Amino acid sequence: MNTKTPTPGINTLLTHCGNDPRDFFGFVNPPVVHASTVLFPDAATMAARDQKYTYGTRGTPTSDALAEAIDALEGSAGTIVVPSGLAAVTVPLLTFLSAGDHVLIVDSVYHPTRNFADTMLTRLGVEVQYYAPEIGAGIASLMKSNTRVVFTEAPGSNTFEMQDIPAIAKAAKQWGAVVMMDNTWATPVYFRPLEHGVDISIHAATKYPAGHSDVLLGTVSANAEHWPKLLATHHTLGACAGPDDVYQVLRGLRTMGVRLERHQQSALELAHWLEGRDGVARVLHPGLESHPGHAIWKRDFSGASGIFSIVLDGGGTEKAHAFLDALTLFGLGYSWGGYESLAVHVWLGDRTVAKKDYGGPLIRLQIGLEDVADIKADLQRGLAAAGSG
Ligand SMILES: Cc1ncc(COP(=O)(O)O)c(C=O)c1O
C-alpha cells in the first residue's frame, strides 16, 4: 500500500490496499494472471523451489493482491482465497478439526455451514454441538477438554441475533480452542474480528466485496498463530480460486466503503419505517434500539450492512408468498450483498437450540442501492398484498 499516513481511514485503505502499482509498470490495477505452470530459470532453482511463485495453485500476483488487501482490512497475518463463501467456512473447519474433536457452532449459523457440520464433520468423527447465539461467557459451561473450535457468526443468518464475541473468545481461549467467525454481514469495514479475540475471520466475498451478484469467492484470514496451518491446508486441498473472480473482488473492494454507507443508510431508514407499519410484527435489525442485541452491536460494531428481516403479523406460507409475489422491484433470490434489493421467505426448520415462534412468517430483505422511496413503495405493495397494508 502506498498511503503516507500511519493510520489511514477505512476508505483510504479500501482505495489503496493490496497491490502496489509500481510492481507492474505503474498500471493502477494488477494483472489478471491465468496460470498453472510457472517456469524456473535453471534446474537448481527448480529443485529448491527457490522463487516467489512456483505453481498456480499456490498463489499468483493476482491472488496475492487480494490476500494482501484483505490482510490490511482484517489486521491478519495471512489470507487464503477460495472459490466460494461456503469453501471459506469448510476449509478452516477441515484445517483445525480431527476425529475425536468437539466443535461448538452457533445455532443461528448459515444453513450450509450446519449441513457441512452435520454430514461431513460428523462422518469424519467430529462431535458437533450447537449453542444459543446469546450465550456469551456462558459458552464456558459447554467447553470440553476436546473442544477444538468455537464457530461464531454475528449477527446470525436470517434472524440477526448478536453474539458477545469478546466474551466467547475469552472463554474459548481458556480451553485452548480456535475461535472462528463468519464476518460476512459486517465486512471488515464495520467489524474486525481479530481485534476482539477471534483467530480466524471468514468472508463470503461473494456478497459486499464483489457487490454485483456476478461472482462467487471466499476469503479466510488468520492471526499469526494459526496462519501456517491454514495455509498448509489450503495447499493440501488445492482449493484455489480463479483469477478473473479474484480480480473482480479486488475491484469491488475499491467501492465497497461507499456502497456500504448507502446500504446501511437505506436499510436503517427502512427498518425504522417498517417498525411502525401495520402488518409488521417485528423488525430484526441489530441497529434498532428495539433489538435485544443492540447494546452489543453498538459496543463492538462500527456500522451495519443492508440485510435484515421482518416478521409479518401472523399467518403462514400463503401470506409470505402473497407479500413476495406482489414485489416488483425486489428480486426473489438467496444471495445478497449486490447492488439490487432482494427478498426471501426464511426457513428456520434446522434450528435446534435457538428455536423460536416468531408468530408469523419471516421475510429477509437485502436493501439495494435503489432510491429509498421506490423501495418503500414496493414494500408497501407487498404489505398490502399480504392483507395487512
Ligand atoms: C453468512 C454467510 N456465509 C457464507 C455464505 C456462503 O457464500 P457463497 O454463496 O459464496 O458460498 C453465505 C451465503 O449466503 C452467507 O450468507
For the stretch 145-158, pLDDT in tens is 999 999 999 999 99
Relative to beta strand 200-204, strand 78-82 is unpaired
What is the residue-averaged pLDDT of the chain? 96
Residue keyed to cell 398484498: 385
- 185 CA: nearest ligand 1 atom: 1
pLDDT band at residue 388 using 50, 70 and 90 as cut-offs: low
Ligand 1 centroid – CA 45 distance (Å):
41
184 lines ligand 1 (CB under 6 A): yes
182 lines ligand 1 (CB under 6 A): yes
Ligand 1 centroid – CA 106 distance (Å):
15
Per residue in 184-200, pLDDT (tens digit) is: 999 999 999 999 999 99
Average pLDDT in the 288-310 region?
98
Indicate the helix (H) or strand (E) that contains 342: strand 342-345
Average pLDDT in the 215-223 region?
98
- 87 CA: nearest ligand 1 atom: 11
pLDDT value at residue 3: 45
Cβ–Cβ < 8 Å for 151, 199 = no
pLDDT value at residue 355: 86
CA distances from 221 to 68, 82, 198, 204, 365 (A): 10, 11, 10, 12, 28
Helix, strand or coil, per DSSP, at residue 128? strand
206 lines ligand 1 (CB under 6 A): yes
Average pLDDT in the 275-289 region?
96
Ligand 1 centroid – CA 182 distance (Å):
9
CA distances from 39 to 51, 143, 242, 323 (A): 10, 49, 20, 58
pLDDT value at residue 5: 52
Per residue in 362-379, pLDDT (tens digit) is: 999 999 999 999 999 999
Ligand 1 centroid – CA 86 distance (Å):
6
pLDDT band at residue 106 using 50, 70 and 90 as cut-offs: very high
Dump the DSSP string for 228-265.
Answer: HHHHHHHHHHT-PPPHHHHHHHHHHHHHHHHHHHHHHH
163 lines ligand 1 (CB under 6 A): no
Cβ–Cβ < 8 Å for 365, 309 = yes
> Could you give the CA distance from residue 311 to residue 267 in angstroms, rounded to a whole number?
16
Ligand 1 centroid – CA 112 distance (Å):
8
> Could you give the CA distance from residue 353 to residue 191 in angstroms, rounded to a whole number?
26
Per residue in 327-337, pLDDT (tens digit) is: 999 999 999 99
245 lines ligand 1 (CB under 6 A): no
